[in-house]
Chain A
């Protein structure tokens, strides 16, 4: 499997465009909510897996658990955002660590 071959495709199908816009807007709402609510989520969220759906946060000790919690609470939200919340504090550069 060649890892460096990528192909860009512009989609103009009206149905796909509508779906893309709607999904982006739903994710935008969750993203905006998350950025405004970090102070309430921390420090409890540190070291946890976070999913934001329906502008609510779901925390768990595993990715699958966080995802399942969010999906079950908001099955119609196609803009769920997920991420691991780092334990470490301080400036970051995005090289991997051991």
Chain B
């Protein structure tokens, strides 16, 4: 299986690697958001905008845990939901779990797909070839010299 993302042109004109993800809301419907493919993020984090749209119950994080970046700690909550992406054959892949979500609506423009999810795949992010691919299952890649 492979999931095909894209280089998404952001408001500043810079193209960044994203995958279109649909996230299950309070009614079981799936809402779409672009997620930044961020191999340096330990965890997937939903934007506060998406959290507001989902309107699903959330919990405070475990005591003593923080969402830490170079700029410091961010307030966050934890939600249990499903992320859905589309395979190259058109079928969906669902990733069920508990995910972090920012509380500050201005903390990020894009939700972040971190290594809790990305570790399930081989991740190919190639600006030269204009490709963003998440590869798993029977698919594989080779480096040809």
Binding site for B on A (CB under 8 A): 1-12, 16-17, 20-21, 23-24, 26-28, 31, 35, 38, 41-42, 45-46, 49, 62-64, 66-67, 78-86, 89, 92-98
Task: Note all chain B residues with C-beta closer than 8 A to A97.
Answer: 69, 71-72, 107
The number of A-B residue pairs with CB atoms under 8 Å apart is: 161
Q: Is the CB of A83 within 8 A of B109?
A: yes
Q: Is the CB of B93 within 8 A of A10?
A: yes
Task: Find B47's partner among A45, A64, A83, A89 (CB 8 Å cutoff).
Answer: A83
Task: Note all chain A residues with C-beta closer than 8 A to B49.
Answer: 49, 63, 66-67, 82-84
Task: Find B105's partner among A5, A27, A84, A98 (CB 8 Å cutoff).
Answer: A84
Task: Note all chain A residues with C-beta closer than 8 A to B108.
Answer: 84, 94, 96
Binding site for A on B (CB under 8 A): 1, 6, 8-14, 20, 22, 29-34, 36, 38, 40-41, 43, 47-50, 52-53, 59, 61-62, 65, 67-74, 78, 80, 84, 86-87, 90-100, 102, 105-110, 112, 116-117, 120, 136-137
